[in-house]
């Protein structure tokens, strides 16, 4: 009788240990996330006739690829906070001819059409890169560090001579 009571007490203690430890005040418990993170913005980006590669870029690799259903990708995401119940989201994507044909699951695509941002073109003027910043600043003051005389239209230029003869 005492052995069976001891084993029963030990079994009860071991099974209730996780419940007791998780409800103690001041004990930290981890938030456990498993699977692919799925949110509404990701699902809103999906469009019919997208290629598998485009879907893979948006959603990431699927959690489950069934051998018997090659045309279906399953994404499963579960999250359990410290004091929260387990939340699970699931979405299945169906393909025909390697293009997205149907979406099924907990998250449905939004009804708002995808709006592309408006692209604007700005003409940038050509920069004058012949002079350095120092040369431009000294030119504004009137100080040029050139040893060569400046060409002036009023001064006569010497004639070029041909020394080949």
Return the higher-pLDDT residue of 105 and 115: 105
What tens digit of pLDDT does each residue of 99-109 get? 999 988 887 77
Q: Are 71 and 54 in contact (CB under 8 A)?
A: no
pLDDT at 94: 92
Q: Where are the domains of the chain?
A: 29-123
What tens digit of pLDDT does each residue of 27-86 get? 666 666 667 778 888 888 888 899 999 998 888 888 777 788 888 998 888 877 666 777
Q: How far is CA 140 from the centre of its chain?
A: 49
- Domain 29-123 falls under CATH 3.30.1450: yes
Q: What is the DSSP letter of 127?
A: P
Query: Which residues fall within 8 angstroms of residue 16, CB to CB, at 6 or more apart?
Result: none
Q: What is the pTM of this model?
A: 0.49
The backbone torsions φ and ψ at residue 127, rounded to the nearest 5 degrees and listed phi first, read: -90, 145
Return the higher-pLDDT residue of 159 and 55: 55
């Amino acid at each position: 009788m005492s052995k069976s009571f001891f084993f029963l007490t030990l079994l009860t203690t071991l099974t209730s240990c996780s419940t007791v430890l998780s409800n103690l005040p001041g004990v930290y418990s981890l938030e456990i996330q498993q699977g692919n993170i799925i949110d509404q913005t990701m699902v809103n980006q999906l469009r019919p006739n997208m290629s598998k590669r485009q879907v893979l870029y948006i959603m990431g690799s699927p959690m489950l690829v069934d051998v018997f259903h090659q045309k279906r990708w399953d994404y499963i995401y579960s999250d359990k906070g410290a004091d929260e119940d387990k939340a699970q989201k699931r979405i299945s994507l169906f393909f025909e001819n390697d293009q997205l044909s149907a979406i099924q699951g907990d998250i449905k695509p939004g009804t708002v059409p995808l709006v592309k941002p408006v692209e604007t073109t700005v003409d940038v003027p050509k920069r004058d890169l012949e002079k350095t910043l120092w040369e431009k600043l000294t030119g504004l003051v009137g100080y040029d560090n050139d040893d060569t005389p400046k060409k002036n239209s009023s001064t006569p230029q010497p004639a070029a001579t041909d020394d080949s003869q």
